[in-house]
Amino acid sequence: MNIRSDSRPRRGGFILLALAGAGLAGCDGLTDVAGDPHKVDASKPLGLGEALIGATVDLYFAYDSYIVIAGMLGDEFVSSGTASGYREMDARNVTPRSTGGASSRGRGIGGEGSWTPQQKAVFAANLVQERIEAGDFPGVDVESPQYARASLFDGLAKTWIADMFCSAAFNGEGPEYSSQDVYSLAEAEFTKAIDATGAESEIVQAALVGRARVRLNIGNRSGALADALLVDPDFELTASYSTNTFEQRNRVWWRTWGFGNFSIDFRVWSDLTIDNTGDPDPRLELALNPRPAYEPNQDLWAPLKAEDPAAPLVLASGDEAQMIIAEIQLGQDAVDAINAVRARNGIATAWAPATLDDATVLAKVIDERGRNLFLEGVRNGDLRRYLDQYGIDLWTRVTPQGVEAMDAVCYPLPDVERENNPGI
């Protein structure tokens, strides 16, 4: 078991929810919002401030559920045997009518859904953009910080959909887009955020990370590198959660600590050390959840990275930008990037490879990226890229219960979408 380390320096987090309510038309701060901001209806906003708060809330709702459900496919999580649908996800046996919540179900009290929350996040961000474009808010245009922020939200939500689903459609209309098409749509949204002259620096930095990520996934390596090099290595943008209501709790915490029907995939992430030193990796601190698993003889491992229901989740970071640089440049540049990220995460040991051949360095970059960005919503997209671009297959081939896994790398478009979308 990896133990807690308090040596990681604190980096300045940027709380998006606070920004969404601050300094916006019709809303001077979160105190102007009704008691539970999660009840703000982004489809019927009273003003720009409320609309952005609704879009922020929908983004956070989509994100923590996405991390869990995509992580079930991407080997960050496994089920504790609670339901057949979750066991099917462990086995990568997913269908358009999968009952594990990846497809048609909404968030609900358990937070299972992913398709519906992600679609709501796209819709809410689009609504803000459309109202600004229509001139609904005097003095606010497409160069404004509000428009840039909504564009960032749109790009992030579409990136998650592309990582997780084999295809997608939006706003109840066709056409059906491939994952690569959705990455391109996300790239366009990140570009809007970057190009807006009034965008706050934090929004631009996050959009650069997002655009670098999707460019890397669609094979635009030079564009990805150019973006990643512009990101401050110390940058970090987080999504905030709270204990104010059940719905505001971090669902990574809820699924592993609170309800305990999911576990961190201990076969992949437990007992990892720094190189050959034997020292536990502080980025992967796990603890044994005392709750009994539904599956006999299975331990439940929970992350100290989300040991609290109000624990923030990283949306974009300089660490990710550095890992993108490392993956593209390889060689000594990759070694330098890996060691810089290690130092920022409280790891004194520098990686000093005996050889800088591409295969050795790429393998280390892949390993370090998984550790650095653990539970940060990139794993399934990464595994798909490694397979598509390098022919490297890192998916586990058997479930914790010994069932042979199938070959699904993404969730199919849900039947609920296909059956109700006239454009498909």
Q: How far, in Å, CA of 184 to CA of 232, rounded?
A: 24
Q: How far, in Å, CA of 84 to CA of 354, rounded?
A: 47
Per residue of the chain (424 residues), give pLDDT as tens: 453 333 333 333 433 443 433 333 333 322 223 334 444 454 555 699 999 999 999 999 999 999 998 998 899 998 876 665 666 777 777 777 653 344 434 333 233 468 889 999 999 999 999 999 999 999 999 999 999 999 999 999 999 999 999 999 998 888 999 999 999 999 999 999 999 999 999 999 999 999 999 999 999 999 999 999 999 999 999 999 999 988 899 999 998 998 878 899 988 999 999 998 999 999 999 999 887 777 667 788 999 999 999 999 999 999 999 999 999 999 999 999 999 999 999 999 999 999 999 999 999 999 999 999 999 999 999 999 999 999 999 988 777 777 777 788 998 988 888 888 888 8
* 398-to-85, 107, 268, 318, 408 alpha-carbon distances in Å: 16, 28, 12, 34, 13
Q: How far, in Å, CA of 263 to CA of 256, rounded?
A: 6
Taking the CA atoms of 397, 399, 401 and 404 in sequence, report the sign of the dihedral they define.
negative
Single pTM value for the model: 0.88
369 phi/psi in degrees, rounded to 5? -60, -45
Per-residue pLDDT at 40: 45
